[in-house]
Amino acid sequence: MLSFTLKSELAAMPERLKILVTGAAGNIGTYFVKESADRYDLRLFVHTLDEDAKALSLFGELMHGDLADLETARKACVGRDVVLHLAGVPDAFAKWDALLPANIIATHHLFAAAVEAKCKKIVFASSIHAISGYPAGVQVKTTDPVNPGDLYGVTKCFGEALGRYLSTQKGIAFLALRIGAFQPSDAPSEGGSMANADGFVSRRDLQQLIELCLDDQKLQFAIFQALSDNTFNRMDISDARELLGYAPKDDFFESHPELRETGLSKEVRAHNLSDKAG
C-alpha cells in the first residue's frame, strides 16, 4: 500500500504563502521562523507570551493562546493558506493526562479549524516515536504499519490518522513529517548522543524538508521520514528524495570530528544502500 496519494488536479498556490506556524517558540519553530520569514507570510502562534515569544514578532504576526480551545484554533486559521503544526508536548515519557490537551484535543481542533477556514494544506510534525516500537535493527519504511513505543508516539499516530481522514474525506492536503533527533549539524557527541546516530536530523536538513512540503503542489497526502543523510538511518528517507526532491546535506558521523576520524561512514554499509543519493 502506498504511503501517499496525488492530487486529482493541481491547484495553483499563491506566490507568497500565508502560513500559520504553531509552536513557533519551540526549538524547531524558532529556527524555521528565523530562516523563513523572508520567504513566507507568517502568523506565529505560541502558547505562552513570554519574552522569547515576544521577540518573534520581528518575523511575523504573533498570536497566543490554547489551541485546545476550538474558537482560538479557528481564529488562528482564518486567512491562512497552510498550517504548519509544530506545537505539542514533545516528551516521550509524558503520561496521558499531560498529552491529551496539547497532542490530541488541540490537534483535532486545529485540523478541524483548518478545514473550516478552507486552508489548502496541513503540514504536521509527527515523530520517529510513531515507529519506535520496532526492533533496533529494523529500518522502517513509510509503508510499514505504525508501531509507537510510548504514549507520545501514540499521539503522533493519531495526528497522522486524523490527517489521512481529513485529506480523503474533506479534501485538504496533508503531509506528515516523522522528525528524528533535531540538532545543529555540529552538536557535540557527548552525554549519550550516540543514541541519535541513526535518528539524527540537522537543522538545515529539516528546514529544507519543511519548505519542500509547504511548497509542494502535487501531493494530496503523504508521510515522510525526516532524517539527515546518515550512515545509519533508522527510517528510510527514499520517499522524500523521490517525491519532494529532498537532498539532505548532513550525516551524524561526518558532523562529529571524533567520529569522522574512525572512518565508519566509509567502511560500514548503511541500512539501505538506496538511501544514499546516486
Instruction: Assess whether pLDDT exceeds 80 at residue 194.
Output: no
pLDDT (average), residues 76-103: 97
Whether residue 147 is contained in a domain is answered as yes
Whether residue 49 is contained in a domain is answered as yes
pLDDT (average), residues 225-244: 95
Whether residue 119 is contained in a domain is answered as yes
Whether residue 22 is contained in a domain is answered as yes
pLDDT for res 258: 58
pLDDT for res 9: 77
Instruction: Assess whether pLDDT exceeds 80 at residue 183.
Output: no
State which residues form the domain around 261.
15-268
What's the whole-number average pLDDT of the chain? 89
Whether this prediction's pTM lies above 0.85 is answered by yes
Task: Pull the grid cell for residue 108.
Answer: 483535532
**For residue range 206-231, what is the model confidence (pLDDT) as tens digits?**
999 999 999 999 999 999 999 999 98
pLDDT for res 19: 98
CATH number, domain at 109? 3.40.50.720
pLDDT-based confidence at 195, cuts 50/70/90? low
pLDDT (average), residues 130-155: 96
φ, ψ of residue 23 to 5 degrees: the values are 65, 30
Please count the structural domains in the chain.
1
Q: Give the separation between CA 90 and CA 29, rounded to whole angstroms.
A: 13
pLDDT for res 241: 97
Whether residue 259 is contained in a domain is answered as yes
Per DSSP, helices labelled H in the chain are 27-36, 51-55, 70-77, 96-99, 106-116, 151-170, 203-215, 238-244, 257-260, 264-267
